[in-house]
Amino acid sequence: MTTCCERLSALNQTQNQPPCVSRMSFRTLLASSGMIAAIGLGYGMWTIISPGEERRREMVKNLPEYSSQTMDETRKRTALVMQTLKEAAECNENLSRGVGGK
């Protein structure tokens, strides 16, 4: 014969058991399916929103770097910057010390 405390203890142990394996696998399957669906939806929206190949070519043609005039100006500006850097590297003065520093 079991005592009242033993029966209560046995009842508590059966209620505190983790959920059965089939229920956990169903949750995992449901969560995985939801994640895959969300990723698929994102990829589909990205495909719809992104421009096609012809639109991409048109956008590249309209970029400022595509015109020869802008490219020439950029090359001249880059050459001036490089010349200034070269002169600064050959100079003995250290400009970081400030005016009048040695």
Residues 10-55: tens digit of each pLDDT: 665 655 555 554 556 888 889 999 999 999 999 999 989 988 888 8
Residues 80 and 57 in one domain: yes
**Would you report the helix, strand and coil content of the chain in percent, each value rounded to 5?**
75, 0, 25
**Is 70 contained in some domain?**
yes
Residues 61 and 87 in one domain: yes
**Is 100 contained in some domain?**
no
Q: Is the pLDDT of residue 57 over 60?
A: yes
Residue 17: CB atoms within 10 A of its CB come to 7
- Parent domain of 61: 52-93
- Predicted TM-score (pTM) above 0.85: no
**Which distant-in-sequence residues (6+ apart) come within 8 Å of 71 by Cβ?**
65
Residues 40 and 61 in one domain: no
